[in-house]
Amino acid sequence: MEVFTRWRTWETARSDIAASGAHIDLDGLAPAVAAAERWHGDQRRPTGAPYVEHLLEALEVLVRGAEVTTPAVLSAAVLHDVVEDTPATLADVEAEFGPEVTELVDWVTKPPTAGAGRQAKRAGKAAYLRRLRDAPREAILVKLADRVSNVQTLDRMPPDFQRRYYAETITYIVPLAEHEPWFRTWYASWSAHFAHLQ
């Protein structure tokens, strides 16, 4: 199972992309990375890693793994959590990046559940994940890359979380990968690697 954790900084990502010869508009992507860094600030992931590392992992998955070059998809990948996890709004995203990127970010943003109980939060998340079946292909690519970043090191999470997240990924995310050959293969390898969590 390939793991995507090489791009911890934009400088590394930019250098790798330039060296690869991939047809990616780095100057067009840089403002999205800068905005994500600005909006997320010094936020950290549950693992303690700077939040931006997760966003760059999702980008790395799309570029190095799935060989995606579509500018809107790559920008949305690094912005995919700004509405969910920062004070930024969809209007803020649209003002800087236009309607196409904003639509993709909107598709992958979980609705707010502040103040809801555990059952309501779980039901809301399940509804959000089911709704992704109707998302455009570009939004699905962003979500697939986001989840690769989240599950590639699942063994670093608490055991009860591992089992729950594995089941959720198998139920809702793996079916989204069915029509994307690279992601289908990656998730098959991942599910076999973590099969003990079934």
Task: List, for residues 108-137, the tens digit of each pLDDT value.
Answer: 999 887 677 888 888 888 899 999 999 999
* Burial (Cβ within 10 Å: 0-12, 13-18, ≥19) of residue 46: exposed
Is residue 96 predicted with pLDDT exceeding 90?
yes
Greatest alpha-carbon pair distance for the chain in Å reads: 49
Note whether 76 and 108 are within 8 A (CB).
yes
Is residue 69 predicted with pLDDT exceeding 80?
yes
- The strand pairing partners of 151, in sequence order, are none
Q: How sure is the predictor about 35, in pLDDT bands with cuts at 50, 70 and 90?
A: very high
Number of domains in the chain: 1
Whether 2 is covered by a domain: the verdict is: no
Query: What's the Cα-to-Cα distance from 71 to each of 83, 100, 113, 189, rounded to whole Å?
Result: 19, 10, 31, 28
Whether 91 is covered by a domain: the verdict is: yes
Note whether 24 and 74 are within 8 A (CB).
yes
Whether 1 is covered by a domain: the verdict is: no
CATH number for the domain spanning 72: value is 1.10.3210.10
Q: How sure is the predictor about 99, in pLDDT bands with cuts at 50, 70 and 90?
A: very high
Considering the entire predicted model, what is its pTM?
0.95
CB atoms near residue 135 (< 10 Å): 18
Question: What range defines the domain where residue 152 resides?
Answer: 10-197
Q: What is the pLDDT of residues 145-164, one digit of tens each?
A: 999 999 999 998 999 999 99
Whether 5 is covered by a domain: the verdict is: no
Q: Catalytic residue numbers? A: 84-85
At 59, which amino acid appears?
A: L
pLDDT at 114: 67
Whether 89 is covered by a domain: the verdict is: yes
Half-sphere exposure of 78 (CA within 13 A, CB side): 29
Query: What's the Cα-to-Cα distance from 196 to each of 90, 153, 161, 163, 193, rounded to whole Å?
Result: 39, 14, 14, 9, 8
Backbone angles phi, psi at 98, to 5 degrees: 85, 175
pLDDT at 119: 84
pLDDT at 79: 98
Percent of the chain with pLDDT over 90: 86
Note whether 177 and 183 are within 8 A (CB).
yes
pLDDT at 83: 97
